[in-house]
């Protein structure tokens, strides 16, 4: 359902980026560089699926933030808004607030079989376009007050991380990706990572072997998500991130200089009846516990820099399983002080991210009725128009982003 049309005054609603960071792309240029290079394997979604053939703009990502344009990327005004768990219920269902799986660990060495399903195994229950309705529904169920018209960006961590890191000199990060864009309200930029079907690895098997799966009554939690809000480079940002596991208070690692958000769900019952909180989405509530979040990875090669990922979601702990063909010989635990170093390394990427977000928001405000997508390919970040508004936030949920008199 289309978002209500609106009028806006650009100079009052957003900070204009340098105009030379955006340039229009011609169809001739696109045909040479953006055509599908080879057929996608069976079971994959094509990167340009549902998009018009030619991009309309290319956003030039600055290699370095120029003097006077370098935004302050220190996170300020950090606030926990809510959490939720996706479940394996037949109809799309979330539990609010959620509970991440406790970290149990496993003595090395150990052998694991590869994941039995393709990446994003629970996508049938939580397609990409349901991420924002789930986020909003969870915050509503938690009763957290948010001035939604004042929010500049609502996004999942993966979208922000890819936009921050896409021009870094790291071969492991030089991958194609797509982020679907929607303007909600008069100035709020909504980003959600478009997910094709990835290749099989050992990540889900490693997570299952080192954590204890959470069950809510008869519902098995398939993933845990946390929602936070902060100021980044002058932008008010609401971020949803998936949390792989948590350290309970009995075995928590000292968090040092990293501020850890501890959320406690109080006054909620564990036997609540599901109630509708978004179209085709249900929610349940249960009693929560204090925990400290962590990120779990499995890698058979060099570890991809995690600085921006950890910083954007304010995740204080990282456990990395090092393996060769599923034989895990070491689990590395990165301490809080190491994450501070990672954060410093990621500063330039985050500065570029703020500049890109401002540029993308300008384009979205200029084309409020156009469904848009960002595509990173061949080390170029281009804006496309989508052929339909399927997956956009529905009108009844988008109304909160308008400042009604």
Q: Is the pLDDT of residue 52 over 80?
A: yes
Q: Is the pLDDT of residue 192 over 50?
A: yes
403 falls within a domain = no
Give the 3-state secondary structure of residue 16.
coil
38 falls within a domain = no
Euclidean distance between CA atoms 333 and 343, whole angstroms: 16
Q: Is the pLDDT of residue 303 over 70?
A: no
Q: How many domains does the chain have?
A: 1
Euclidean distance between CA atoms 301 and 172, whole angstroms: 9
Where is average pLDDT lowest: 8-17, 86-95, 168-177, 387-396?
Answer: 8-17
**For the packed helices 336-345 and 347-366, what is the interaxial angle rounded to 10 degrees?**
60
The mean pLDDT value for 45-49 works out to 83
**Angle at CA 155, nearest 5°, toward 149 and 161?**
140
Asked if residues 34 and 382 have their Cβ atoms less than 8 Å apart, the reply is yes
Q: Is 388 exposed, middle or buried (0-12, 13-18, 19+ CB in 10 A)?
A: exposed
Q: Is the pLDDT of residue 196 over 50?
A: yes
Summarised one tens digit per residue, pLDDT across range 94-123 is 888 888 888 888 888 989 888 765 444 444
User: What pLDDT, on a 0 to 100 scale, did the predictor assign at position 361?
Assistant: 95
340 falls within a domain = yes
Euclidean distance between CA atoms 405 and 396, whole angstroms: 17
User: What pLDDT, on a 0 to 100 scale, did the predictor assign at position 324?
Assistant: 84
Most confident region among 33-47, 200-214, 278-292 by mean pLDDT: 200-214
The mean pLDDT value for 20-40 works out to 44
Give the 3-state secondary structure of residue 270.
coil
300 falls within a domain = yes
Average pLDDT along the chain: 71
Summarised one tens digit per residue, pLDDT across range 342-373 is 666 677 788 888 999 999 999 999 998 899 99
102 or 251, greater pLDDT: 102
**Beta bridge mates, 215:** 220
Q: Is 355 exposed, middle or buried (0-12, 13-18, 19+ CB in 10 A)?
A: buried
**Structural domain that includes position 282:** 45-389
For 261-379, where are the E strands, in sequence order? 275-278, 281-284, 291-299, 317-324, 327-334, 372-377
Q: Residue 193 corresponds to which tokens in the numbers above? A: 């990572």
Euclidean distance between CA atoms 360 and 235, whole angstroms: 13
396 falls within a domain = no
**Quick count: other Cβ atoms within 10 Å of Cβ 75?**
18
User: What pLDDT, on a 0 to 100 scale, did the predictor assign at position 205?
Assistant: 84
Q: Is the pLDDT of residue 402 over 60?
A: yes
Where is average pLDDT lowest: 1-10, 182-191, 294-303, 364-373?
Answer: 1-10
Q: Read off the pLDDT band of 387 (50, 70, 90).
A: very high
Q: Residue 277 corresponds to which tokens in the numbers above? A: 């909180």
323 falls within a domain = yes
Most confident region among 41-50, 95-104, 269-278, 369-378 by mean pLDDT: 369-378
404 falls within a domain = no
CA–CA distances in Å: residue 139 to residues 77, 103, 151, 226? 18, 26, 14, 10
171 falls within a domain = yes
């Amino acid at each position: 359902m289309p978002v209500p049309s609106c009028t806006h005054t650009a100079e009052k609603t957003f900070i204009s980026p340098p105009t030379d960071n955006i340039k229009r792309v011609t169809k001739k240029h696109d045909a040479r560089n953006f055509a599908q290079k080879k057929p996608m394997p069976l079971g994959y979604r094509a990167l340009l699926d549902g998009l018009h053939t030619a991009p309309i703009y290319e956003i030039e990502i600055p290699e370095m933030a120029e003097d006077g344009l370098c935004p302050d990327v220190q996170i300020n005004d950090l606030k926990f808004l809510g959490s939720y768990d996706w479940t394996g219920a037949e109809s799309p269902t979330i539990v609010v607030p959620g509970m991440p799986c406790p970290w149990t660990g496993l003595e090395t060495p150990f052998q694991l079989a590869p994941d039995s399903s393709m990446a994003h195994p629970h996508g049938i229950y939580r397609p990409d376009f349901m991420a924002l309705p789930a986020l909003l529904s969870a915050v509503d169920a938690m009763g957290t007050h948010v001035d939604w018209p004042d929010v500049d960006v609502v996004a999942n961590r993966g979208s922000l991380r890819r936009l921050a890191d896409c021009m870094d000199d790291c071969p492991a990060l030089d991958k194609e990706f797509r982020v679907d864009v929607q303007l909600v309200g008069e100035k709020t930029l909504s980003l959600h990572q478009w997910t094709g079907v990835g290749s099989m690895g050992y990540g889900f098997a490693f997570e299952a072997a080192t954590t204890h799966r959470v069950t809510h009554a008869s519902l098995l939690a398939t993933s845990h998500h946390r929602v936070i809000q902060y100021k980044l480079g002058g932008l008010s940002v609401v971020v949803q991130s998936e949390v792989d596991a948590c350290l309970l208070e009995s075995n928590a690692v000292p968090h040092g200089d990293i501020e850890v958000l501890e959320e406690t769900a109080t006054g909620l019952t564990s036997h609540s009846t599901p109630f509708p909180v978004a179209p085709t989405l249900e929610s349940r509530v249960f009693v929560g516990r204090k925990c400290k979040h962590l990120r779990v990875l499995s890698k058979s090669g060099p570890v991809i820099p995690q600085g921006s990922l950890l910083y954007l979601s304010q995740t204080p702990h990282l456990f990395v399983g090092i393996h060769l063909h599923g034989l895990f010989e070491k689990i590395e635990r990165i301490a809080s002080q190491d994450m501070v170093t990672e954060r410093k390394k990621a500063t330039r990427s985050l500065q570029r991210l703020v500049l890109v977000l401002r540029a993308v928001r300008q384009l979205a405000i200029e084309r409020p009725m156009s469904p848009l997508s960002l595509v990173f390919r061949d080390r170029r970040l281009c804006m496309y128009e989508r052929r339909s508004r399927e997956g956009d936030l529905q009108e009844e949920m988008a109304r909160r982003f308008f400042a009604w008199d």
